[in-house]
Structure 1
Amino acid sequence: MGLLSLLEVASMPNIQVLLICLLGAFLATDYCNILPPHARTSLNKIVFGVFTPCLMFANLSKTVTFEDIISWWFMPVNIGFTFLFGGILGWMIVKIFKPKPYLEGLIVASSATGNLGNLLLIIIPAICAEKGNPFGDHDTCSSRGLSYASFSMALGGFYIWTYSYHLVKKSSLRLKEFEELASPEQRGDDYLQSHLLPQKAAGEDDVVPSTNKLALKEIESQEAGVPILEKESEKLGVMVLGKLQQMFHGIMKELMEPPTLGAIVGFIFGAVTWLRDLLVGESAPLRVVQDAVKLLGDGTIPSTTLILGANLTQGLRSSRVKPVIILALVVARYVALPAIGIVIVKAARGLGFLPPDPMYQFLLMVQYTLPPAMSIGIMTQLFGVAQEECSVIMFWTYSAAAVALALWYALFMWILST
């Protein structure tokens, strides 16, 4: 399989994404006006609440069994490494180039979160169809590869809708803080007094010095017989417990989001044989339910891409992402991460952690080379933060992916064939 063939295979999915993005941009123009901002918001809510959970459930319940989960145990670890090292590279970009605070989460998420779903489902069959590939005949290669890709997409969904979702959600809070600090005059005199001037309790004497007040408080504390250090330790314990409860509540809330719930239920139906037999297969009594869910899930990718393209028109004019940050993201995703991936996968293979199947090892390496997940666009639209900046990042990273992916795929197959 030559380099030109690999370049064609790798570029096709990215060209498809860019074409749909351009269509979305056209639909958002004043000339067409089919995807104005309110329409994009409504469509995004449908994608988040209906299409994405259905996509997760349909792929997992059909392709992943309990035995697969056990034998492919290294894949969730490998995806965790992509998020770990990608996140580290993203934070390095943030610290070096210092973007606006509300863009930090988007930049880290774009560096850490690869497109572990639809691109793999397109790329794997195309590579298997090429003569001379190192993965065997077309049917066997495609069957194994699609199972691995579906499992990868489902696992990636867990990471995306917890870690990346948290980053974008935190960015939306940063944006609110940024807007408040950017225009304090809109809050009036009451806002300035409440935030900048010390408040007095009713009946408090203005002439009492603060040092005397502190002394009086210490005397009262001693008279009560409660040491100040003991009070401080109790207060610290309450604060720590409150923080832990808040963190646990936040994690549980994010795990209950529709995409994550769809993945959890899909795992259950795929792992439990009798539940799987109810939905999957020609003789399954409820196969029409599986078909309907899959039909809804198929709307995820085109809808998300149209939204990204629609946001692109505004993003190219008003994006606050510096070109050097986009370049740094391209280097992080297509140079640094793939090199790290080769080291990790080769080390795991040397330690005997991986099955001997070269397609499995190939997909583990590919997970480090993919462009940012388009699910990030759903999140930015959902929280109303950095939609245009996200579209610009997606446009340039997917444009650069065509050549980068082909070169890395050729290198990966050479490594696995030697």
Structure 2
Amino acid sequence: MVGPSVTEQTGLSFSHLSYLTFESVLQVVIISFAGFWCAYTGLLPKQGQKIISLINVDLFTPCLIFSKLAKSLSLAKILEIAIIPLFYALTTGISFLSGKFLSYALGLDVDESNFVIANSIFGNSNSLPVSLTLSLAYTLPDLTWDQIPDDNRDNVASRGILYLLIFQQIGQVLRWSWGYNKLMRWSENSVHHTNRLSSQLESQESLGASNNTSGIDLQSGSSSNNEEINLRDSPYYVGTFTKIKQQLLFYVSKFISYMNPPLYAMLFSVIVASIPPLQHEFFNDGGFINNTLSQAISEMGSVSIPLILIVLGSNLYPSGETAALTKNHNKLVFASIMGRMVLPSCFILPIIAGCVKFIKVSILDDPIFLVVGFILTVSPPAIQLTQITQLNEFFEAEMARVLFWGYVVLTLPISIIIVTAAITVLQWAR
């Protein structure tokens, strides 16, 4: 006797499931189109986009993070999410190999290959996946986790945001280190790089001359009558306590340099969630702090996602300042889209499905983790890559084309397919 189909188990037909996904994606598209219209009419110029992005990153997004995470986190959940860095390493490795393969197959040079690899590796884990995950958490059936008593849609949405944010912060570090300094920067053989390098060398020579002068002054000063005092104050003769203090201050400053408002919000969320009385005080219905501070934070957090999508849409409007297209621009766009949204998914999605089916440990058993994993695997290239290409003057026109195809043309159909596939795999795994 044939068992019930997936659609029978969920109570939804394939067309109804596709329709629910279409509604969620269309909501994102409509808000993004409003941002595109603002840029088209001049209401939101480039400078305005940057200001809104800064306000959102420094204020509204941290409020969203705190309001979603601090309420639903616990020490047990914090330990369970340790698997996410492994998932990030897996997806990044497969995406890197996909970009390498496509670049080799299309005969691209070093700079063009780096551009394709960067687009393949750095997917959007912020605007589109966050808004889509929140929408699906309140729309799709069977996303509650049976390991959590009285699990509800709010908890599902909070866990989805948590998974995305951890993935996002790991990607941020890699994007602004390896991506900014290596992958999306002209190589040594580039004419653009050579011209810029010569000007940098000139400035470095002038700085070097001033440093040498200051070094001579120090040497002459050490031969004066105050030689003993200078030696006592030099780094070689400081006390052990001072050395330890300097090392401690160095590591603290290093830690602070890596931190940003969203990371601070995650840190405060963990602190509040780790102290049950404090968590109760913040989120107890009818309590003074909940009715004032917590509600204010929640209200500001609700502004974050619409603003992200407004800026996303405005970024898709072509700017008159964009550089001309290069000879292989079609190859670059094709390889970037294939390497990000198509080829890696052929390998990553079966791996995720197998892990959820046969390795039911930690959050692998959480239905929203499966949905988030599928969405991240096929998400378009990160919007922040446009900022990096602008800063480094690196294939700016090609980047605009990649974003157009990724967000305007392919996001809707691919999202419908991938969410339907996620629900199908979820039912198969159960």
Q: Residue 286 of structure 1 aligns to a residue in which SS?
A: helix
Q: Distance in 1 between matches of 2:93 and 2:315?
A: 29
Matches within 5 A, 1:11-410: 11-29=22-40, 32-93=41-102, 97-98=108-109, 99=111, 103=115, 106-111=118-123, 113=125, 116-128=129-141, 140=151, 142-143=153-154, 145-170=156-181, 174=185, 181=193, 252=255, 255-287=258-290, 288-314=292-318, 318=322, 320=325, 322-339=329-346, 340-347=348-355, 349-354=357-362, 357=365, 359-360=367-368, 362-363=370-371, 365-372=373-380, 376=384, 380=388, 392-398=401-407, 399-410=409-420
Counterpart contact for 1:60–1:263, Cα < 8 Å: yes
Q: Residue 284 of structure 2 aligns to a residue in which SS?
A: coil
Cα distance change of structure 1 residues 10 and 40 upon mapping to structure 2, 3 Å threshold: same
Structure 1 residue 388 displacement after superposition: 6.6
Q: Residue 35 of structure 1 aligns to a residue in which SS?
A: coil
Q: Distance in 2 between matches of 1:255 and 1:184?
A: 28
Q: Distance in 2 between matches of 1:10 and 1:365?
A: 16
Q: Does 2:427 match 1:417?
A: yes
Structure 1 residue 172 displacement after superposition: 10
Q: Distance in 2 between matches of 1:309 and 1:364?
A: 22
Q: Distance in 2 between matches of 1:300 and 1:179?
A: 41
Counterpart contact for 1:101–1:171, Cα < 8 Å: no
Q: Tell me the equivalent position of 1:209.
A: none
Cα distance change of structure 1 residues 417 and 44 upon mapping to structure 2, 3 Å threshold: closer
Q: Distance in 1 between matches of 2:363 and 2:183?
A: 42
Q: Distance in 1 between matches of 2:26 and 2:341?
A: 17
1:153 corresponds to which letter in structure 2? L
Q: Distance in 2 between matches of 1:390 and 1:278?
A: 47
Q: Tell me the equivalent position of 1:227.
A: none
Structure 1 unaligned residues grouped into runs of 5+: 196-200, 202-247
Q: Distance in 2 between matches of 1:172 and 1:250?
A: 27
Cα distance change of structure 1 residues 254 and 156 upon mapping to structure 2, 3 Å threshold: farther
Q: Tell me the equivalent position of 1:210.
A: none
Q: Residue 174 of structure 1 aligns to a residue in which SS?
A: coil
Question: TM-score scaled by structure 2?
Answer: 0.67
Structure 1 residue 391 displacement after superposition: 5.2
Structure 1 residue 122 displacement after superposition: 1.0
Q: Distance in 2 between matches of 1:249 and 1:94?
A: 41
1:255 corresponds to which letter in structure 2? Y
Question: TM-score scaled by structure 1?
Answer: 0.68
Counterpart contact for 2:119–2:339, Cα < 8 Å: no
Residue deviations 1:189-230 (CA, integer Å, cap 9, x gap): x959x79xxxxx9xxxxxxxxxxxxxxxxxxxxxxxxxxxxx
Q: Residue 33 of structure 1 aligns to a residue in which SS?
A: coil
Cα distance change of structure 1 residues 171 and 378 upon mapping to structure 2, 3 Å threshold: same
Q: Distance in 1 between matches of 2:302 and 2:151?
A: 24
Q: Distance in 1 between matches of 2:129 and 2:254?
A: 22
Structure 2 unaligned residues grouped into runs of 5+: 1-11, 207-211, 213-250
Q: Distance in 2 between matches of 1:404 and 1:282?
A: 41
Q: Residue 410 of structure 2 aligns to a residue in which SS?
A: helix
Q: Residue 314 of structure 1 aligns to a residue in which SS?
A: coil
Q: Distance in 2 between matches of 1:124 and 1:112?
A: 19
Q: Distance in 1 between matches of 2:388 and 2:344?
A: 24
Counterpart contact for 1:47–1:304, Cα < 8 Å: yes
Q: Distance in 1 between matches of 2:399 and 2:353?
A: 30
Structure 1 residue 90 displacement after superposition: 4.1
Q: Distance in 2 between matches of 1:290 and 1:91?
A: 47
Q: Distance in 2 between matches of 1:109 and 1:356?
A: 23
Count the aligned residue pairs: 360
- Superposition CA RMSD, Å: 4.4
1:37 corresponds to which letter in structure 2? K
Cα distance change of structure 1 residues 361 and 257 upon mapping to structure 2, 3 Å threshold: closer
Cα distance change of structure 1 residues 154 and 186 upon mapping to structure 2, 3 Å threshold: closer
